[in-house]
């Protein structure tokens, strides 16, 4: 299954607010779909879809992250969220250097972003503590990021990130605490969904 490129409102109407997919919220929509009682499978599926669409992943990518999280020490659900939150495209979004995760992915793909002084054009690059994220030293890159930062409606930054907006520079202080994840989700239901598929 490929990355979702369809109507974004359709997804937030069904799944709720997905800040990574679009800056619009459910309250911006004129109508909402009514739904009756949902089965446990449907609830788990919706949580999985919410995670997938928020972070802009393909089904295969999300499954790979679930497998990595399952082999890592700690709660599988919390490790999964940490892996997704530490992706470069998500870090740019959380810093306010991009308005959405797809927007951040485009910045990375077009080689506007440096990590520790080197161009990184892989949106799934896993950031580590003490990584320094900056824009390329040209006017176009700086203008793009400056516009995003100026129009950013983000609330205060999570504890694991620091932004120097005058230098267009972000710093990863530490691995994210699960309390600071930018999406309201029950990650255990996602893990249950995949455990029942195998």
Domains 8-84+183-197 and 88-175 share a fold: no
Q: How confident is the model at residue 1 (pLDDT cuts 50, 70, 90)?
A: very low
pTM above 0.85, yes or no: no
Q: How far apart are CA 113 and CA 156, in angstroms?
A: 22
In this structure, the chain runs to a length of: 198
Position 29 scores a pLDDT of 47
Q: How confident is the model at residue 189 (pLDDT cuts 50, 70, 90)?
A: very high
Q: How many CB atoms lie under 10 A from the CB of residue 11? A: 19
18 contacts 53 by C-beta, under 8 angstroms = yes
Which range, of 58-67, 128-137, 180-189, averages the lowest pLDDT? 180-189
What are the domain boundaries of the chain? 8-84+183-197, 88-175
Position 129 scores a pLDDT of 95
Q: How far apart are CA 29 and CA 26, in angstroms?
A: 6
Position 17 scores a pLDDT of 62
pLDDT at 78 over 80: yes
**pLDDT tens track for 16-57:** 666 656 655 555 444 444 556 788 888 899 999 999 988 999
**pLDDT tens track for 95-148:** 999 988 999 999 999 999 999 999 999 999 999 999 999 999 899 988 988 888
Query: What is the CATH number assigned to the segment(s) 88-175?
Result: 3.10.290.10
Position 13 scores a pLDDT of 61
Nearest alpha-carbon partner for 11 in 116, 37, 19 = 19
Considering the domain delimited by 8-84+183-197, tell me its CATH architecture: Orthogonal Bundle (1.10)
Q: How confident is the model at residue 184 (pLDDT cuts 50, 70, 90)?
A: confident
Contacts of 81 (CB under 8 A, 6+ apart): 176, 178, 181, 185, 187
């Amino acid at each position: 299954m490929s990355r979702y490129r369809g109507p974004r409102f359709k997804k937030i109407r069904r799944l709720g607010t997905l800040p990574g997919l679009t800056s619009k919220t459910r309250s911006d929509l004129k109508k909402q779909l009514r739904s009756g009682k949902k089965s446990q499978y449907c609830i788990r599926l919706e949580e999985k879809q919410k995670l997938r669409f928020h972070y802009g992943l393909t089904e295969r990518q999300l499954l790979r992250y679930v497998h990595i999280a399952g082999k890592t020490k700690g709660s599988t659900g919390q490790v999964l969220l940490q892996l997704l939150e530490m992706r470069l495209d998500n870090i740019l979004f959380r810093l306010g250097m991009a308005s959405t995760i797809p927007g951040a992915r485009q910045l990375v793909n077009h080689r506007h972003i440096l990590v520790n002084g080197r161009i990184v054009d892989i949106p799934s690059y896993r950031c580590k503590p003490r990584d320094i994220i900056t824009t390329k030293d040209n006017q176009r890159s700086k203008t793009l990021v400056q516009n995003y930062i100026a129009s950013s409606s983000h609330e205060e930054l999570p504890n694991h990130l620091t932004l120097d907006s005058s230098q267009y520079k972000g710093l990863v202080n530490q691995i994210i605490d699960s309390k600071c994840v930018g999406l309201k989700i029950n990650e255990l239901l996602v893990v249950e969904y995949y455990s029942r598929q195998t």
